[in-house]
Amino acid sequence: MKKFTLTLYIFLTFLSCYAVADCDFDDFPVHPEMKLVPILGSGAVHNNQPVTIKGFYSPNLDVALLTRFYTRKWDDRIVESSLSPWNQLSTLVDNCMSTVQFVAADNGTEGRLVMTDYSVNIADMQLGVGTVMPNDAVVVTDTVMDDGAKKGRVTLAASGQTPAALARFYRSSMIRKGWALEQSFVEDSARVLVFRDGPALSNVLLVPIPTGTQILINSEEPE
């Protein structure tokens, strides 16, 4: 229970760089040495847009070989960038951007394949609707998942309040909504509250930052 936080932070940091929609992954070039791993399936929505993300790893490809592969596939339409420590290669075709993000690893090379549809206008859509948040919170990312067996939601936000004040807010607000507080503890200066409502669980992580607190809410409920 206490180790769910780091993976979610890394994952949400990556997601916040993209607005991903319903492009066809069949059009994404994949090197024969790349082994694909699903990260988010077709039942997921990130920041109000459908999202499908695939991870990959390869023990036989290094960064240079992977760069050459996509340079050949995408010709002069390729754009190189970086999101430390990751390398990024992208191309845009008919409002659909394909992005490969990769980094050298102990087992060769690992990364993610992302497709972004820039034809979708989400400017007027509010993030985090239905999630318990303090009045001053700014929602950064909001990801909803449904794999047919359970529904999940991961929401990342920021508040100017202290973790202690927010812990009191979530304790009272969630209990008023019918949730029971199962656990409350401190881990590496972060406050963690675990709530249950029947089979549904909601984990609230409150991490101190210089400007206040980062709020991470991870909820899941069986179908």
Burial of 223 (0-12, 13-18, 19+ CB in 10 A): exposed
The pLDDT of residue 209 is 93
Task: Inform me whether the pLDDT recorded for 139 exceeds 60.
Answer: yes
Mean per-residue pLDDT for 102-130?
77
Q: Which domains does the chain have, with CATH numbers?
A: 20-117 (no CATH), 138-222 (3.30.530.20)
Burial of 27 (0-12, 13-18, 19+ CB in 10 A): exposed
State pTM to two decimals: 0.63
Sheet arrangement for strand 200-209: 79-83, 86-93, 96-105, 108-117, 49-58, 35-46, 138-146, 150-159, 212-222, 200-209, 190-197, 180-187
Mean per-residue pLDDT for 208-220?
94
Encode pLDDT of 77-100 as tens digits: 888 887 678 888 988 877 677 889
